[in-house]
Amino acid sequence: MQDLSQFKEKFGTFSVSDKTYHVAANFNDLCDMEEVAGCNLLEALNNVAQTGECTAKQLRGLLASMLVTATMPDWPKDHKEQLKAAGQLIRYNTANNIAIAIAEAFYREVSPELGDKFRETMDGQAQLAAVKNDIGTEEKHDQSQEVVAPAM
C-alpha cells in the first residue's frame, strides 16, 4: 500500500460509512473519464468549485476521475466499472460532502492555503446549519407541547 502523506495537502476528503476517501484534481484523469461519463467534467468541476452545483452524472464522473485509489487495491481498472463503483459511494446523505471534497481538491490544486480556507468556510457553514437545525427542532418541540384552551 502506498504512503500518500506527502500528497495530503492536495486532497479533499469525505467519509461514507465511517470510511474516509480522498479526492485530488488531475487533468489527465478528468480527460480520460470525460468520454466514458458522457458529460463535460471540466465544466462540472468549475461549477462545483464556484456554485456547488452539478448534475448527478457530472458528480459521479468527477468522483470517478478524482478518487485517490492508490490505497484501494480492489478498485476497478475499467473506466465504466469505476463509474459504477463511484456511483455506489454517492447517496442522498453523502452527495453534498462529496461535492465539497471535490471543490476542496480543486482549490488545493491552486494553493493548499486556499484549500484550507475553503474547508474552514464549509465547516463553519455546516456548524451554523447544525445550530439552526437544533434551534428549529427545539422550537418545534416547544410548540408541540403547547396546550390551547378551547374557545368558549
Walk along the chain (152 residues) and give the pLDDT tens digit of each residue. Answer: 455 565 667 788 899 998 999 999 888 889 999 999 999 999 999 888 888 889 999 999 999 999 988 778 899 999 999 999 999 999 999 999 999 999 998 888 888 888 888 888 887 776 667 676 667 655 554 444 444 444 54
Q: Measured in whole angstroms, how far is the alpha carbon of residue 47 from the centre of its chain?
A: 13
The span from the CA of 150 to the CA of 145, in Å, is 15
Contact 61, 34 (CB under 8 A): yes
Contact 68, 32 (CB under 8 A): no
- 68: buried, middle or exposed (CB in 10 Å: 19+, 13-18, 0-12)? buried
Grid cell listed for 39: 458529460
Amino acid at the residue 89: L
Whole-number pLDDT of residue 1? 42
3-state helix, strand, coil in the chain (%, to 5): 65, 5, 30
Q: Does residue 14 sit in helix, strand or coil?
A: strand
CA-based nearest residue to 43, from 34, 117, 145, 65: 34
